[in-house]
Amino acid sequence: MNDFIESARKQFEYYKMLGDKAMQQLSDEQLFWSFNEESNSIATIVKHLWGNMLSRWTNFLTTDGEKATRNRDFEFVNDATTRQEVLQRWEEGWACLFQALDSLSVEDLSHIVYIRNQGHTVTEAINRQLAHYPYHVGQMVFIGKMLASQWTSLSVPRGQSVNYNQEKFTQPKHRAHFTDDFLKKA
């Protein structure tokens, strides 16, 4: 089960890296662009992720994941005005998550934690966030691809799948995490 914690951490690192690389490819102005009033800018998505991460992962094992101090609705009102503010929130949220993950032991995985008074095993709570955060990082990447004048692929570039697979199949069968190749390049 310790593999689960390590695997979850690698997956979170991978999605953080995707968000990092998406934002690096955009101008400051593009971080604040939204399609319309009903859509979110990358800055707003980051603010929401930051609020969620601080709420879910602060005192993860001992307090409800929906903290009384959280104002979820305000997370969707962007008040950041600079790239630095956006990146500060981004890093603070991820640091909170990684600190909580790094403090877990195998014995903690079956412990019950609550989110809005709904009980989850630690494993279920981690899986819940592994579904939530990639959803929003995918939005960030999609927005980035629409806005960047020249986009650098964050995974296997178009037209390169055959080469990528050929390289993989030249290697002997081995145990590895799917994120290892991408995180090495980061």
Write out the chain's pLDDT in tens, 186 residues. Answer: 579 999 999 999 999 999 999 999 999 999 999 999 999 999 999 999 999 999 999 999 999 999 999 999 999 999 999 999 999 999 999 999 999 999 999 999 999 999 999 999 999 999 999 999 999 999 999 999 999 999 999 988 889 999 989 999 999 998 888 888 777 766
CA torsion sign for 133, 136, 138, 144 is negative
Backbone angles phi, psi at 84, to 5 degrees: -60, -40
Asked if residues 26 and 144 have their Cβ atoms less than 8 Å apart, the reply is: yes
Amino acid at 101: L
CATH code for the domain of 17? 1.20.120.450
Domain interval for residue 135:
2-185
The Cα 36–Cα 92 span in angstroms is 28
The secondary structure of residue 2, as a DSSP letter, is H
The count of structural domains within the chain is: 1
Which two three-digit tokens encode residue 147?
Answer: 């806005």
